[in-house]
A and B are shown apart, each in its own frame.
Chain A
Amino acid sequence: MAPLLTPVLTLIARHRVLSVLLFLLIFPWLMPYEALAVNILIFGLYAVGFNLLFGYTGMLSFGHAAFLGVGSYLTGMSIVHAHLHWLIAIAIGVGASGLVGALMGHLAIRTRGIYFSMVTLALGQIVYYGFYKAERWTGGENGLRGVTVPAFEFAGLTIDFTNPVTKYYVMLGFVAIALGLVSRILASPFGAVIEAIRENEKRAAACGYDVARSKLLVFVLSAAICGLAGSLRAIHLSVVPIDSLHYLQSGQAVMMCLLGGMGTFFGPFVGAAVFLYLEDVVTTLTRHWMAVVGTIFMVFILFFPRGIWGSLVARWERTTTPSAQT
């Protein structure tokens, strides 16, 4: 690697949140249209939340759609039925996701490995059917309609969410807060504990760390971040489709994480961007986009098991001695 590149990369690694945000600031102009950029931003955050549990703690959950959906539905219902301010609605969505995460986590962390995945999948299905059947509140199969935020004044500017660029930058503000929080968590002693649990759970317990409590805490944090992604998605789409609770949505988080690189800070964003961009491009060519995207996904898994970003980071770490994670 060119010697000039190393200091730049070290700088990126040291200020990972700032680098990601700088990239995301120019991101809408790299995409064919802004709505796709908003979508990638939201699903990037969803994958980051999922990665906290999957990549850093080593717990593969198949029920994360529940948190995305609960965040979406509670935000939507607060706006549609209770006519609350959208900021309060987002807070309710995030809080409800955290609460559902605490309930699900309480049951699921009793199990490990494939069992954990099964249990989270089944608990996610409970949430799915619960919202599906509560048609009066959630609209059932048709989804919840009419989640609109009226234009408002902020610091002398009129902010209107019907303009996708405005919407993107407002949502980037929320994503920035969430990313800062995740980065702070990962850099803290607690972040070291969850990585220790991933590497060797018995040893982490033998070192005196409360494994069950740490697992539950990281589960709740992950749920709340995915809930925030869901809340933003409700405002972005202005409807809440019942699909957002479907477990295919949970599978998407797994795919995005693996594609981008699990256990890396920026990887989930790369995965979400590649996945959604591919989906967007391939659907214009053929109806069977799932077959094409699935094949590309398998090629990546076979030849780049660390994911796109993970492989780049690993390659860079081989050429430089100090280990740093971006």
Chain B
Amino acid sequence: MLPVWLLVFGLGTAIAGLSGVLAAPTRAVNPEMGITVLAESFVVTVVGGMGSLMGAVVAGLLVGVVFSMTSLLAPEFAELSIFVLMALVLLVRPQGLFGKAGLMG
């Protein structure tokens, strides 16, 4: 019996760890650095759609661009913009941009 659950969880954690390794040189390393990323990655998953690799990549890029552009043009709305984007996606396409309908209800 393969402990599938355990292996998948470990693999997911390892990939998240790799992103931490990549983030370390560009962002300040501190115990709270995960907190903002947590909310942002939730947004990316919702926008992209659950269970879609393509969705995660495209939504990651989209969320990043939206965040950077609002930081440039209207800095006081930067943090807000990605959540507004998520709300809009939920309203128009509840399963996310690339998600299959029915997966999330």
Q: Contacts A111-B105, A130-B80, A133-B80 given: A125-B90 contact, CB under 8 Å?
A: no
Q: Contacts A123-B87, A126-B83, A130-B80 given: A118-B105 contact, CB under 8 Å?
A: no
Q: Contacts A115-B46, A247-B39 given: A122-B105 contact, CB under 8 Å?
A: no
A121 within 8 A of B: yes
In the complex, which residues of chain B have a beta carbon less than 8 angstroms from the beta carbon of A125? 39, 79, 83
Query: Do A121 and B80 touch (CB < 8 A)?
Result: no
In the complex, which residues of chain B have a beta carbon less than 8 angstroms from the beta carbon of A121? 39, 42
A110 within 8 A of B: yes
The smallest beta-carbon distance between A59 and chain B, in angstroms, is 11
B84 within 8 A of A: yes
Query: Do B79 and A111 touch (CB < 8 A)?
Result: no
Alpha-carbon distance between A119 and B85 when the two chains are bound, in angstroms: 12
B94 within 8 A of A: yes
Q: Contacts A110-B90, A111-B94, A133-B76 given: A118-B83 contact, CB under 8 Å?
A: no
Q: Which of A107, A126, A130 contacts B91 (CB 8 A)?
A: A107
In the complex, which residues of chain B have a beta carbon less than 8 angstroms from the beta carbon of A110? 90, 94, 105
Alpha-carbon distance between A115 and B45 when the two chains are bound, in angstroms: 9
B97 within 8 A of A: no
In the complex, which residues of chain A have a beta carbon less than 8 angstroms from the beta carbon of B39? 121-122, 125, 247
In the complex, which residues of chain A have a beta carbon less than 8 angstroms from the beta carbon of B59? none
B50 within 8 A of A: yes
In the complex, which residues of chain A have a beta carbon less than 8 angstroms from the beta carbon of B104? 111-113, 115
- Report the interface size for chain A: residues with CB under 8 A from the other chain: 17
Query: Do B50 and A122 touch (CB < 8 A)?
Result: no
- Report the interface size for chain B: residues with CB under 8 A from the other chain: 19
A-B contact count (CB 8 A): 50
The CB with the most chain A CB atoms within 10 A, among B43, B46, B104, is that of: B104
Quick one: CB contact mask for A119-137 with B, threshold 8 Å, 1 for yes? 1011101100110010000
Query: Do B83 and A115 touch (CB < 8 A)?
Result: no
Interface of A is mostly: helix
Interface of B is mostly: helix
The smallest beta-carbon distance between B44 and chain A, in angstroms, is 10
Q: Contacts A113-B104, A129-B80 given: A122-B86 contact, CB under 8 Å?
A: yes
Nearest-neighbor residue (CB-CB) of B90 within chain A? A107
The smallest beta-carbon distance between A61 and chain B, in angstroms, is 13
Q: Which of A112, A122, A126, A130 contacts B42 (CB 8 A)?
A: A122
| A 255-291 contacts with B by CB, 8 A | none
Query: Do A126 and B80 touch (CB < 8 A)?
Result: yes
The smallest beta-carbon distance between B4 and chain A, in angstroms, is 18
In the complex, which residues of chain B have a beta carbon less than 8 angstroms from the beta carbon of A130? 80
Alpha-carbon distance between A115 and B49 when the two chains are bound, in angstroms: 10
The smallest beta-carbon distance between B5 and chain A, in angstroms, is 15
Query: Do A126 and B94 touch (CB < 8 A)?
Result: no
In the complex, which residues of chain A have a beta carbon less than 8 angstroms from the beta carbon of B84? 126
| A 92-126 contacts with B by CB, 8 A | 107, 110-113, 115, 118-119, 121-123, 125-126
Q: Contacts A110-B105, A113-B105, A115-B50 given: A122-B94 contact, CB under 8 Å?
A: no
Nearest-neighbor residue (CB-CB) of A106 within chain B? B91
Nearest-neighbor residue (CB-CB) of B43 within chain A? A122
Nearest-neighbor residue (CB-CB) of A128 within chain B? B79
Nearest-neighbor residue (CB-CB) of A134 within chain B? B76
In the complex, which residues of chain A have a beta carbon less than 8 angstroms from the beta carbon of B46? 115, 118-119, 122
Told that A107-B87, A122-B86, A122-B87 touch, could you supply 7 new A-B pairs with CB distance under 8 A?
A: A107-B90, A110-B94, A115-B104, A118-B42, A119-B86, A125-B39, A125-B83
List chain B positions with a Cβ less than 8 A from chain A.
Answer: 39, 42-43, 45-46, 50, 76-77, 79-80, 83-84, 86-87, 90-91, 94, 104-105
